[in-house]
Chains A and B, each alone.
Chain A
């Protein structure tokens, strides 16, 4: 093989991939952003609320706020691969879901319009470092409040309570956590779910990936027997492949989701809690819920905020 022919061939193919952008279907695969193919007609009609942006907000004494003012925008850490919660459209790169709505309603109360929010995808394992290092101003992404995490970050919330559950193949015979003995159970590195499988004495073999979607792919190929995390997340995945996957439906924990923020930034914590309270009272919470998570049939209850 001479250099010239190989290089020419390689260049030709590379050029083809480049020009391929010129021909193809316009736009993104799904404009709505949710891969919900079942098309539940009535629920899908629910529309996202709009939030009134406050003006003249000032949080003196908050380190995070000083940075926000300097940047002139909010940087919010979120998840990108959880349908109906925190989901990024692969084509348009737009984020959507309940967590995203929560982030937006808080931002509105801090005086920031949707266009002034920069969403950043942060994996479960890196959340604490991202908050401590100031990489994000706050984090909204299925972030369970617990004492262990309170050592390194502070929380506002909870704004939602989920429960850990199992996603299995239809007809797998796994009906509850009692059936997990000797089974391979997959979850995300650094999540509370994987910790519970390791510590809970279920006799299951934990398998860790950096994202749940790799777990789901491995479930489909039979490499793992179950995927475990919060029911709200799992229902979104089950909806992507309803013919083969199902959620067991017996939550075995309570996962109160909070908004993560820099440890001991009391001023910001109070502001975020007040913002959540405000939108829960004025009905935005419910509207946002109906337009996102509500579609996959997760129960809706506004949890009691921690003071």
Chain B
């Protein structure tokens, strides 16, 4: 924590100055919020008729349906991308050069492609009648490649001595991987894996563009087919749902990271080695 090293414990004058700056900043932030509220209010966004549709059980049911569709796409993509990631990581760590090359090309290509471009091509080209699969396969290819890099970095970050010792006591290649490397790598990788899952969850909203009836698509449909087009009320309702889902997942990642740090048996690999890969994921 270098944050508190960057400045001295404030003396009386600095305390006053900080308070003044703080008060001004707080005022500015509040003024901004007030301005946003007033502007929306002035343009009639809080008029009751715009919010009325959302009081009906049918509409609420639609939103829940959309949420379920979002979670379904997320669950499928999460499972498939972890499986694909494991397979590709195994390929990249393989002893056979051709396997390594193929895995490397696949990982590098799909990591470099914009997800939307892939999903759209899959939707138009193959899955016109099943946008769910265009979305899930697109998400799987992209996130699987990113997860593969996280796995690989995690395995490589396990101290070399571990692997050597395992071979020395006569374990086979697979055994070294399964009993020695993966268990140690997992603890360090888990936060990065979950961060990538948050990205996966957020990206399910791309389903909106290919007419998969997920949360954002549903919200949009409700807004455009209700009197007065309540797009802004829709955003005010849908945005917190997304943010809370992602926050819950991120919090899980943080919690695991903290727990991992607490029980430092056998020194897990440094999280820093994986951080760089994680950044690539966003």
Q: Do chains A and B touch in the complex (CB under 8 A)?
A: yes
Q: Which residues of A contact B (CB under 8 A)?
A: 1-4, 6-7, 10-11, 13-14, 17-18, 20-21, 24-30, 35, 37, 80-81, 87-93, 121-123, 126, 129-130, 133-135, 210-211, 213-214, 216-217, 220-221, 240-241
Given contacts A210-B209, A241-B228, 8 further A-B contacts (CB under 8 A): A3-B255, A4-B255, A25-B55, A29-B227, A35-B225, A87-B225, A121-B211, A126-B211
Which B residues form the contact surface with A (CB < 8 A)?
43, 52-53, 55-64, 67, 124, 128-129, 209, 211, 221-229, 231, 240-241, 244-245, 247-248, 251-252, 254-255, 258
7 contacts between A and B (CB under 8 A): A3-B251, A3-B252, A27-B58, A29-B59, A29-B227, A122-B211, A241-B228
Q: Which of A13, A20, A91 contacts B58 (CB 8 A)?
A: A91
CA distance A254 to B209 in the complex (A): 30
Q: Which A residues are CB-close (under 8 A) to B60?
A: 20-21, 24
Residue picked from B224, B228, B244, most chain A C-beta under 10 Å: B224
- The chain B residue with its CB closest to the CB of A216 is B229
Please tell me if the beta carbons of A90 and B251 are within 8 angstroms of each other in the complex: no
Q: Tell me how far the C-beta of B36 lies from the nearest C-beta in chain A, rounded to whole angstroms.
A: 14
Tell me the bound Cα distance from A168 to B237 in angstroms.
Answer: 29
Residue of A nearest to B226 (CB): A90
Q: Which residue of A2, A24, A211 is within 8 Å of B56 (Cβ)? A: A24
**B128 contacts A29, C-beta separation under 8 Å:** no
Task: Choose one: B56, B227, B228, B231; the contact of A25 (CB below 8 Å).
Answer: B56
Contact of B225 among A80, A129, A217 (CB under 8 A): A80
How many pairs of A and B residues are in contact by the CB < 8 Å rule? 120
Asked if B248 and A6 sit within 8 Å, CB to CB, the answer is yes
CB-defined contacts of B222 to chain A, threshold 8 Å: 90
Contacts of A121 in B (CB 8 A): 211
Residue in B67, B241, B251 with the greatest tally of chain A CB atoms within 10 Å: B251
Are B224 and A29 in contact, CB atoms less than 8 angstroms apart?
A: no
A213, B224: Cβ atoms closer than 8 Å:
yes
Cross-chain contact of A7 among B63, B209, B223, B251 (Cβ < 8 A) = B251
Residue contact A89 to B229, C-beta cutoff 8 Å: no
A133 touches B53 (CB 8 A): no
Residues in B with CB closer than 8 Å to A122 are 211
Q: Are B63 and A17 in contact (CB-based, < 8 A)?
A: yes
A10 CB to nearest chain B CB (Å): 4
**Minimal Cβ-Cβ distance residue in A for B213:** A121
Contact yes or no, B254 A18, CB < 8 A: no
Task: Report how far A214 CA is from B60 CA in the complex, Å.
Answer: 22
Instruction: Tell whether, in the assembled complex, residue B128 and residue A126 are in contact, meaning their CB atoms are under 8 Å apart.
Output: yes
Closest to B253 in A: A3
Collect the chain A residues with CB atoms within 8 Å of residue B258's CB.
Answer: 3
Residues from chain A with a CB closer than 8 A to the CB of B59 are 28-29, 90-91
A220 nearest in chain B by CB position: B229
Nearest B residue to A28, CB-CB:
B58
Residues of B within 8 A of A210 (CB): 209
How far apart sit A25 and B61, CA to CA, in the bound complex (Å)? 12
**Which residue of chain A has the shortest Cβ distance to B259 in the bound complex?**
A3
A1 to B248, CA, bound (A): 12
